[in-house]
Amino acid sequence: MENYNLTEEEQALAGMVREFAEEVVAPISYEADRTHTLPLDVVGQMGDLGLFGLPFPEEVGGQGGDYFALCLAIEALARVDQSIAITLEAGVGLGAMPIFNFGTDAQKAELLPDLLAGRALAGFGLTEPEAGSDAGATRTTARLENGEWVINGSKQFITNSGTDITKFVTVIAVTGENNGRKELSTIIVPNGTPGFTVEPAYDKVGWNASDTHPLTFTDVRVPEANLLGERGRGFANFLRTLDEGRIAVGALATGAAEGCLNDAVAYSKQRVVFGEPLSSRQHIQFTLARMQLRVHNARLAWHHAARLCAAGKPFKTEAAIAKLTGSDAAMDNARDATQIFGGNGFMNEFSVARHYRDSKILEIGEGTNEVQLMLIARSLGVS
């Protein structure tokens, strides 16, 4: 991997995670995908390496790094296994980060230590059957009754919500009205709370080793103190989380695109067709060159957005660009790599086949690519 103006510490981190990915994650990726199983022992090892605490200050149990450092780790993992990479991304960005950014001192003290050490995971319940890109269509409700929130509704596509170490889910719910508009707030719901049901896991096209469930809330009661952040600021606060998540998805997609490139280069050199290596064909060379171009551009895009984020500067448009560029690169490289592999590219034991299935969700999750185009256009003043 080229330097890309990384500091010595950043280079060391990226190298360490790449080595971990190749030696620990890659050997079990096919079986985890085949059995639809999140390997919690690997999650624990990631916690031991400090990956879940990367962007948090040391005083709360973190590693004292920043969001750029987290994205370096996500990219390195995604080269070999997108399911493991998204488990880290969601565990930090959707699980721990909202607690750190908006939680009370008591909530931070109770929840952050296990999350940052990788001993626990948490989900974020935003999406519903009728509310995805349009969060204003949220139907899940929460009303105050005798000092408790009573929650009713459902959520779907919630990552890290049903593992054996999932501690809670933060839920966006309608808590009232304000000037005729829905008041949206975020509430912490511990797993195991009566009335909170984690439904059976989805049978997905990809990210098979990632934990994803629909959730149902039937008269779920939690203390009033479980409100996360200011009442009525739930969605506004989530927008910040969403923008950061788009950078992370851009980094994940870059790793996936590079993994496809590396595998395609190696396979084209060893595959002999009509007495010559496949890599001797100019068409294959040009395909590989375009794949490298996509990786390079995707990495530059997420690096730029992440540096702005770490510096405390506006990055909304740059995050959208990073997510769009990266997801396009991952999907295009997965398709090209699969074609280079031929029949083998259709076999799940080869990582390019898994990348081909996995990468499609990168064009949908964390805001569809059409939403990213809308945001970029809006920044140009043409909305």
Active site residues: 366
What's the angle, vertex CA 73, arms to CA 72 and CA 76, rounded to 5?
90
Checking 366-373 for CB contacts under 8 A at 24+ apart, the result is 366/242, 366/245, 366/246, 366/249, 366/323, 367/133, 367/242, 367/246, 367/320, 367/323, 368/133, 369/323, 369/324, 369/327, 369/328, 371/133, 371/320, 372/246, 372/320, 372/321, 372/323, 372/324, 373/324
Tokens of 383: 């909305």
Which neighbouring-strand residues pair with 270? none
Give the whole-angstrom CA distance, residue 29 versus residue 38.
10
Q: How many contiguous H segments (helices) and E segments (strands) does the chain have?
A: 12, 10
Both tokens of residue 44?
A: 């624990």
Instruction: Give the residue carrying structure tokens 């909170």.
Output: 196
Q: Is there a contact between 282 and 47 (Cβ–Cβ < 8 Å)?
A: no
* Residue 342 near residue 191 (C-beta atoms within 8 A): no
